[in-house]
């Protein structure tokens, strides 16, 4: 059987409201999620005698190559051994769903390879896996298991990560209020900048308390039309009027902060 190459685009929460907490400790979310056209990991997947995972690329360091990796667990959930080469171009523990996007990409690749649908529960792998399986603009709710496609404008963005790992459970623990208003009603013509500006990321303040450099990132993006954190951080995004404005902002940020991960991308 052939090797299948798939991409795992970065997931960006353009808005993320925390609306409650379940008895099992998981939080109820209401989030507008989009995906980066130009920032992704890459995976090559082929059938194998035994499970195998090779990780390379600029962010390979520290990525497990066994069952601790969500890719591995996704293949096991699909139910067939495969050999996976994962090229990590996205920072991890970064609020852009890297591990979840990789797991969803493995499931997509295996569906094509084995010509059958994945019938398991993607949410059991991780709260962001269902939306990453859809991999297009969506409203995500529940603890992440409820996903509905949503019309959204395409945004020209700069993504910035200062290189600090922010563990998601720590950020949720530092949250002051767990009962916040859900997203406002979606505009009839699809999500636009004005609507986004009126929403929030409820995890931004607690993440900034865990990692103050996030405030520095947001400050560095203050020339953007909207600057906000994604997920539980630390990656922040700035939205710009068009592609050239985003590219120019990315160039300026790379010069000023050579140790940060900075990339311009269309979000859709």
Q: List, by residue number, the catalytic residues.
A: 11, 128
Region 54-73 residues binding ligand C5P, contact defined as CB under 6 A: none
Count of residues of this chain found to bind ligand C5P when the rule CB under 6 A is applied: 11
Region 165-224 residues binding ligand C5P, contact defined as CB under 6 A: 168-169, 172
Cβ at position 166, least distance to ligand C5P in Å = 11
Question: CA-to-CA distance for 107 and 121, rounded, in angstroms?
Answer: 11
- 259 by DSSP, 3-state: which? coil
Instruction: Report whether 57 contacts 85 (CB < 8 A).
Output: no
β-pairing, 52-56 vs 82-87, is parallel
Helix (H) or strand (E) holding 87: strand 82-87
Question: CA-to-CA distance for 224 and 210, rounded, in angstroms?
Answer: 24
Task: Please say which residue, 22 or 256, places its beta carbon nearer to ligand C5P.
Answer: 22
Helix (H) or strand (E) holding 250: helix 243-256
Task: Please say which residue, 41 or 128, places its beta carbon nearer to ligand C5P.
Answer: 128
Region 94-153 residues binding ligand C5P, contact defined as CB under 6 A: 126-128, 143-144
Task: Please say which residue, 26 or 114, places its beta carbon nearer to ligand C5P.
Answer: 26
Among all chains, which residue has been given the structure tokens 């998601």? 168
| Residue 27 binds ligand C5P (CB under 6 A) | yes
Structure tokens at 96: 């852009």
Task: Please say which residue, 72 or 172, places its beta carbon nearer to ligand C5P.
Answer: 172
The site for ligand C5P (CB under 6 A) is made up of 26-27, 29, 126-128, 143-144, 168-169, 172
């Amino acid at each position: 059987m052939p090797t299948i190459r798939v991409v795992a685009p970065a997931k960006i929460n353009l808005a993320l409201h925390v609306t409650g907490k379940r008895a099992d400790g998981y939080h109820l979310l209401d989030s507008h999620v989009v995906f980066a056209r130009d920032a992704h990991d890459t995976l090559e997947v082929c059938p194998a005698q035994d499970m195998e995972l090779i990780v390379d690329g600029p962010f390979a360091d520290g990525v497990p190559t066994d069952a601790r990796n969500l890719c591995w667990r996704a293949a096991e959930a699909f139910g067939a051994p495969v050999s996976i080469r994962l090229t990590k171009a996205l920072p991890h523990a970064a609020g852009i769903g890297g591990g979840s996007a990789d797991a969803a990409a493995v499931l997509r690749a295996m569906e094509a390879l084995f010509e059958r649908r994945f019938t398991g529960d993607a949410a059991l792998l991780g709260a962001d896996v269902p939306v990453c399986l859809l991999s297009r603009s969506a409203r995500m709710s529940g603890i992440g298991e409820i996903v509905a496609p949503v019309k959204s404008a395409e945004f020209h963005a700069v993504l910035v990560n200062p290189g600090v790992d922010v563990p998601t459970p720590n950020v949720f623990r530092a949250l002051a209020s767990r009962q916040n208003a859900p997203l406002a009603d979606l505009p009839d013509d699809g999500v636009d900048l004005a609507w986004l500006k009126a929403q929030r990321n409820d995890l931004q303040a607690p993440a900034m308390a865990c990692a103050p450099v996030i405030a520095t990132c947001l400050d560095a993006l203050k020339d953007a039309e909207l600057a906000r954190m994604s997920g539980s951080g630390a990656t922040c995004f700035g939205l710009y009027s068009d592609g050239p404005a985003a590219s120019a902002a990315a160039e300026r940020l790379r010069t000023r902060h050579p140790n940060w991960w900075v990339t311009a991308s269309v979000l859709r």
